[in-house]
Amino acid sequence: MREMQLYTLLEDNAKTSLENLEITGLTDDSRKVQSGMVFACIRGERFDGHTAAAEALEKGAAAVLVDHDLGLGDRQILTEDTRALYGKLCAAWFGHPERKMRFIGVTGTNGKTTITNLIKHILTENGRKVGLIGTIQNEIGDEIVHTDNTTPFVYDLMALYAKMAEAGCDDVVMEVSSFGLVQQRIGETHFAAAVFTNLTQDHLDYHGTMENYYQAKKLLFSRCDTAVIDTDDDYGKRLYSEVTCPKIAYGSSNQADFYADAIKLRADGTSFWLCCGGKSYPVDLHLTGMFNVSNALAAVAACCAVGMSVDDVRKALETCTGVRGRCEVIPTGRDFTVICDYAHTPDAVENILRSVKEYTKGRLICLFGCGGNRDATKRPKMAKAAAKYADFLVVTSDNPRDEEPEAIIADILAGLTDSDVPYEVVTDRKEAILRSMQLAQPEDVIVLAGKGHEDYQVLKGGVHIHMDEREIVRECLPLVPKR
Ligand SMILES: CC(=O)N[C@H]1[C@@H](OP(=O)(O)OP(=O)(O)OC[C@H]2O[C@@H](n3ccc(=O)[nH]c3=O)[C@H](O)[C@@H]2O)O[C@H](CO)[C@@H](O)[C@@H]1O[C@H](C)C(=O)N[C@@H](C)C(=O)N[C@H](CCC(=O)O)C(=O)O
Ligand SMILES: Nc1ncnc2c1ncn2[C@@H]1O[C@H](COP(=O)(O)OP(=O)(O)OP(=O)(O)O)[C@@H](O)[C@H]1O
Ligand SMILES: N[C@H](CCC[C@H](N)C(=O)O)C(=O)O
Ligand SMILES: [Mg+2]
């Protein structure tokens, strides 16, 4: 078992009567406390760790981190912000891996996974070893590491950084969620470049207001060398005017530092001229959709911000194929097209459908549901966004979690009362996918929105069942007669 003297972790906070204490580990979960550990008392939404401090000491904790005097004598370490100190200790416990690599962070409501994957590809093609942290999975070079969260919790994150540093990673490219920022999951990580994509409605169940959600995202920009900001977005414009560090604007306007011109969208890719520094460069991108032009610009600008040449970046960008579950065409060999996409916000639904509509010759069918235990006010808005561009809707379940699927669907349908777009409700997502394929006529395009890369469905009590839309589409094909 690893042991360490507490003072070696505390650095400038070393003046404590506990400085010679041998500790065996760190945790912020009282249920995981073992003899010799430091237990950090965190105030969460459901539980206040301070209520478990005494119990943790009884279980043998070496010390507890607290934000007010609990009368626990010399075994309590008083600090203003237990999350902050816990983050520092976790980083120290793993030998400060956050100081050993270069970090690029991406935040915003939509586009983070796509942009981080593009940046990793560009850096890797240019000879660097890259760690990736995000929604789909974590990656250490080519090695895949499972993840449960977009931005892991601070102890797990520091452990992951340490593995990346040990494996020789030069760079870490990571999605930084608003939850990650508010809960200080990233500790004291400093970013060479930080990207802001956009801010549209999501997660209001947690942040309460768009202003709080914005302020959460903004936290990333007080810890970076260069801010890279989409100034097409209204919140992006505001952030651009508020950040104090060096900044780069990207977007569609020719006033931006990086912008795209003469954009041509196709079903299998996009071409455009990349304009920056007074020059233009042709780009042929294997990704479709206008929003992916914006994502590509973000990746280019971030790579240039950390010192790469536009030419090296552009060449690598062109060899990048799509990201799993992001506007991914599922092969069917039929006369209709099925696209799997992760749109689960009103803005993302609108964007993906508007883009696909550009090249859809038949009808555009959108299948979607909404996640349970998540922002309920986005449900009718997602329905309205879908009805704006789709010709037919199949309303179904996403991850119902602890809610009744029918109740979630009722919230969705409330957004369709003024709409004359025809729809059907099929609560079971597998059956709904089959139904959408049976409805498809030649040249129709079906967009399966919301679950993207997910290969599971989350039901009551956090139960996960296997559900992969690529497999479902394949299994449904024999049930859909060939014309
Ligand atoms: C909304 C949210 O982020 N919730 C996270 C938060 O929950 P919470 O505030 O309710 O925590 P809590 O249960 O009150 O516990 C507070 C503290 O007491 C401790 N505790 C708790 C119980 C106990 O008996 N003893 C004890 O010591 C806990 O370990 C914790 O340190 O802290 C918990 C412990 O760290 C997390 O498990 C939980 O994430 C849950 C799993 C979650 O689903 N989070 C999602 C929404 C999330 O983080 N998503 C983002 C972004 C998604 C995206 O848009 O891409 C992500 O980055 O993944
Ligand atoms: N720049 C963008 N602007 C608006 N919508 C986008 C953009 N990029 C992607 N989308 C839409 O949002 C969906 C999710 O994209 P992506 O996974 O890259 O975002 P994310 O920010 O990582 O999302 P999450 O917060 O769920 O991890 C895509 O499937 C697409 O429909
Ligand atoms: N990581 C995000 C995306 C969820 C995607 C969708 N499938 C859902 O379950 O709502 C979240 O947890 O809110
Ligand atoms: Mg993501």
Dihedrals φ, ψ of 243, to 5°?
-70, 150
Query: Does 207 fall in a domain?
Result: yes
Distance from the CA of 23 to the center of ligand 1, in angstroms? 25
User: The domain spanning residue 367 has which CATH number?
Assistant: 3.90.190.20
pLDDT, average across residues 347-375: 96
Query: Does 322 fall in a domain?
Result: no
In short, whether 291's Cβ falls inside 6 Å of ligand 2 is yes
pLDDT digits (tens, 9 = 90+) for 147-187: 999 999 999 999 999 999 999 999 999 999 999 999 999 99
Decide which of 17 and 265 is more confident.
Answer: 265
In this structure, are 209 and 162 located in the same domain?
yes
In this structure, are 295 and 400 located in the same domain?
no
In this structure, are 300 and 334 located in the same domain?
no
Which protein residue has the closest C-alpha to ligand 3 atom 9?
371
In this structure, are 237 and 363 located in the same domain?
no
In short, whether 46's Cβ falls inside 6 Å of ligand 1 is yes
Close Cβ partners of 14 (under 8 Å, ≥ 6 residues apart): 7
In this structure, are 129 and 54 located in the same domain?
no
In this structure, are 229 and 347 located in the same domain?
no
Boundary residue ending a domain (89, 107, 130): 89
Beta bridge partners of 381: none
| pLDDT at residue 122 tops 50 | yes
What sections of 144-209 are H helices per DSSP? 154-166, 178-182, 204-207
**Exposed/middle/buried for residue 252 (C-beta within 10 Å: 0-12, 13-18, 19+):** middle
In this structure, are 145 and 55 located in the same domain?
no
Count structural domains, the chain.
Answer: 3
In this structure, are 68 and 108 located in the same domain?
no
Boundary residue ending a domain (297, 317, 337): 317
Query: Does 80 fall in a domain?
Result: yes
User: The domain spanning residue 226 has which CATH number?
Assistant: 3.40.1190.10
d(Cα 146, Cα 481) in Å, to the nearest integer? 38
pTM for the complete prediction?
Answer: 0.94
pLDDT, average across residues 118-142: 98
pLDDT bin (cut points 50, 70, 90) of residue 8 is low
Residue recorded with tokens 């006529």: 441
Q: What is the ipTM of this complex?
A: 0.96
pLDDT bin (cut points 50, 70, 90) of residue 18 is low
Question: Measured between alpha carbons, how far is residue 158 from residues 150, 189, 256, 363 in Å?
Answer: 14, 10, 36, 48
**Helix, strand, coil in percent for the chain, rounding step 5:** 40, 25, 40
Question: What would the two tokens of residue 440 be?
Answer: 């498809």
The residue range of the domain holding 117 is 97-317
pLDDT digits (tens, 9 = 90+) for 468-480: 999 999 999 999 9
Dihedrals φ, ψ of 288, to 5°?
-105, 165
d(Cα 360, Cα 240) in Å, to the nearest integer? 36
Q: Ligand 3: which of 344, 453, 463 to mutate, most ligand atoms within 8 Å of CB?
A: 344
Angle between the 469-476 and 429-439 helix axes, to the nearest 10 degrees? 50
- The minimum-distance atom of ligand 3 relative to the CA of 454 is 7
pLDDT bin (cut points 50, 70, 90) of residue 14 is very low
Close Cβ partners of 339 (under 8 Å, ≥ 6 residues apart): 327, 328, 329, 330, 352, 356, 445, 446, 447, 448
In short, whether 402's Cβ falls inside 6 Å of ligand 1 is no
> With b meaning 16 or more CB within 10 Å and e meaning fewer, what string describes 32-64?
ebeebbbbbbbeeeeeebbebbbebbebebbbb
Query: Does 420 fall in a domain?
Result: yes
Question: What would the two tokens of residue 292 be?
Answer: 């992916």
Distance from the CA of 149 to the center of ligand 4, in angstroms? 9
In this structure, are 382 and 419 located in the same domain?
yes
pLDDT bin (cut points 50, 70, 90) of residue 22 is confident
Boundary residue ending a domain (69, 89, 109): 89
In short, whether 182's Cβ falls inside 6 Å of ligand 1 is no
What sections of 94-197 are H helices per DSSP? 112-125, 154-166, 178-182
Query: Does 169 fall in a domain?
Result: yes
In short, whether 177's Cβ falls inside 6 Å of ligand 1 is yes
Distance from the CA of 365 to the center of ligand 3, in angstroms? 21
Query: Does 422 fall in a domain?
Result: yes
In this structure, are 248 and 118 located in the same domain?
yes
Please report which ligand is nearest the Cα atom of 150.
Answer: 1
Contact 181, 217 (CB under 8 A): yes
Decide which of 192 and 20 is more confident.
Answer: 192
Please report which ligand is nearest the Cα atom of 178.
Answer: 1
CB neighbours (10 Å) of residue 232? 17
Query: Does 52 fall in a domain?
Result: yes
d(Cα 407, Cα 160) in Å, to the nearest integer? 39
User: Residue 171: how many CA atoms within 13 Å on its side-chain side?
Assistant: 26
Close Cβ partners of 373 (under 8 Å, ≥ 6 residues apart): 205, 401, 402, 403
In short, whether 61's Cβ falls inside 6 Å of ligand 1 is no
Contact 24, 62 (CB under 8 A): yes
In this structure, are 101 and 165 located in the same domain?
yes
Query: Does 323 fall in a domain?
Result: no
Indicate the pairing of strand 247-251 with strand 328-330.
unpaired
In this structure, are 137 and 192 located in the same domain?
yes
User: The domain spanning residue 84 has which CATH number?
Assistant: 3.40.1390.10
d(Cα 435, Cα 215) in Å, to the nearest integer? 42
| pLDDT at residue 194 tops 50 | yes
Distance from the CA of 18 to the center of ligand 1, in angstroms? 29
Question: What would the two tokens of residue 433 be?
Answer: 């996918």
